[in-house]
Amino acid sequence: MEKLDLKNFSPDELLEFLSGMGKERFRCEQLLRWIYKRGVTDLDEMTDLSKTLRAELKEKSYISDWQPEVVETSADGTRKYLFRLDDGQSIETVRIPMDNDRSTLCISSQVGCAMDCDFCVTGSFGFIRNLTAAEIVNQVCAVAKEGSINNIVLMGMGEPLHNLDNVVRALKIFYAAAGFDYSSRKVTLSTCGLVPQMKELGERIVVNLAVSLNATTNEVRDKLMPINRRYPLEELMDACRRFPMASHRRITFEYILIRDLNDSLADAKRLVKLMHGIRGKINLIPFNEHEGSPYRCPDQATIEAFQTYLLNRDIVAIRRASKGQDISAACGQLKGKLEKQS
């Protein structure tokens, strides 16, 4: 019988697994604390579990443990990790330093991506497979060995809503009091705009939502993001208006500024109209230039004019600082560089 990775179970599924072995409910919380709060992967070290239970668990299950294959560190403290998976595939994770010794971890949800966004290196790999829940949470477990992580963003490789079941399972582990014990305010999921899955996500679990927008016309967004041909801007923005949120929360709209494509004041004007009726904020992200891309970053004056136009019309518009530019920090760059070398 193939052994099961305990990190693939949500808390409710782990409880069901243990109940099927005839174990008490409180054993579930004990096990979760050992795995996620203490980072223990050897069942024999779980001393408040009986020897009999440990033996039964070892017969049926195991706890996976990760170490990065490659780590790159930027002068600004950003660290990028490449993890090699059991099947030989690889994914990336980025730890981003914030103010006051805090940090945000950007994690992946798939190997490759099926969305084929024109500006994204990951899309050039194509879609290979979904990550399991264990592979999603192990990114956090591995990096947390270096120090605490204050926020988690699912903005790495892949489209999280294309792997919704495993992503929801991982979110439940992040939120569990005996698991990572993150508040839902500390976790953000980014999507390119899978409208039906956005609705399902809102019905299944609470999480901060970020939408990768990047254009103000269907013509330009069709070019940048092929998913727009299925769910055009009008349908996407309507789904954002209907997405369930607490009154104090906002949807984050990620807008990558690309020179002479989506960075004009006419674009800023259309963006204000698109935001009508939505509790949201704009993250302005100057394009991270990389080898092989035809796109370029706008000059500073253009970026500032775009942001000022939004701010003057009461739109919360934050220019996101680019970090890790001296390493392969943008999504897919480290994987692409290493595969090219090999």
For the domain spanning 70-341, the CATH number is: 3.20.20.70
224 is in an annotated binding site: no
Q: Which residues are catalytic?
A: 92, 331
Using one digit for the tens of pLDDT, what is the confidence trace for 277-304? Answer: 999 999 999 998 888 899 999 999 999 9
Query: Exposure of 159 by Cβ count < 10 A (0-12 exposed, 13-18 middle, 19+ buried)?
Result: buried
For the domain spanning 4-62, the CATH number is: 1.10.150.530
Give me the percent of the chain exceeding a pLDDT of 90. Answer: 88
209 is in an annotated binding site: no
Using one digit for the tens of pLDDT, what is the confidence trace for 93-116? Answer: 999 999 888 999 999 999 999 999
Transcribe 101-158 into DSSP letters.
Answer: G-EEEE---EEE-SS--TT-TGGGG-EEEEPPHHHHHHHHHHHHTTS---EEEE-SSS
Residue extents of the structural domains in the chain: 4-62, 70-341
184 is in an annotated binding site: no
pLDDT < 70 regions, the chain? 328-342
Helices (H), the chain: 11-20, 26-32, 51-60, 133-144, 164-175, 195-204, 218-224, 233-242, 265-274, 300-311, 333-341
50 is in an annotated binding site: no
117 is in an annotated binding site: yes
Provide the pLDDT for residue 339: 58
Using one digit for the tens of pLDDT, what is the confidence trace for 3-13? Answer: 999 999 999 99
158 is in an annotated binding site: yes
For residue 97, the SS3 value is strand
> Which amino acid makes up residue 4?
L
Compute the CA torsion angle 74, 281, 262, 308 (nearest 10 deg): -90
Q: How much is the CA Rg of the chain, to the nearest whole Å?
A: 21
Domains 4-62 and 70-341 share a fold: no
265 is in an annotated binding site: no
Which tokens go with 13?
Answer: 């599924």
Q: Could you tell me which residues are beta bridge partners of residue 317?
A: 282
